[in-house]
Amino acid sequence: MSTDLKFLIVDDFSTMRRIVRGLLKEIGYNNAEEAEDGAVALNMLKNAKFDFVVSDINMPNMNGFELLSAVKADASLKHLPVLMVTAEARKEDIVRAAQDGAAGYIVKPFTKATLEEKVQKIMQKLATAA
């Protein structure tokens, strides 16, 4: 498993960003940066190379759905896998995320095992497609 992937963690709660970052580190991914909302994240994605986005949905300025749409609409970013990690548990939100191009969807509260499983599944899928 490649552990030099660069992650962008997007969440308006610094605590959750820190938890996701800590879990990614325990899984073996040490390279991660953080953004407090979709707008900041999009700017970072356009100005630096990232390999994976882990994003909340309910955020100020630009929410996770808007970020997902913006990423998928940008030719230089649309290849990026976006894993939604959110408290939004409505089925229509999950369906919308899938239709908009999310690579995965995790509902909070979640476990390290769930995050690890989803990240590995997405990376395997990308490796197969490549």
Partner 1 sequence: MKMDTMATLAPPTAAASPEVFQQLGVITRQLHDTLMQLGVIPKLQTAADNLPDARSRLNYIAEKTGAAANKVLNSVDQAKLEHANIAADTRRIAAAIVADPVKAVASGSVMNFVGDVEAATARIDLHLTDIMMAQDFHDLTGQVVAKVVALASDLEDSLVKLLVQAAPPEQVQKVESSILNGPVVNPEGRTDVVTNQGEVDDLLASLGF
Q: Site residues (CB under 8 A) for partner 1?
A: 14-15, 18-19, 22, 57-58, 63, 87-95, 98-99, 104-108, 110, 114
Closest approach, Cβ 54 to partner 1, in A, equals 15
Contact at 8 Å (CB) between 52 and 8? yes
Beta carbon nearer to partner 1, 18 or 78: 18
Closest approach, Cβ 48 to partner 1, in A, equals 26
The kind and range of the H/E element at 55 are strand 52-55
3-state secondary structure of 61: coil
Beta carbon nearer to partner 1, 29 or 105: 105
Give the separation between CA 64 and CA 130, rounded to whole angstroms: 26
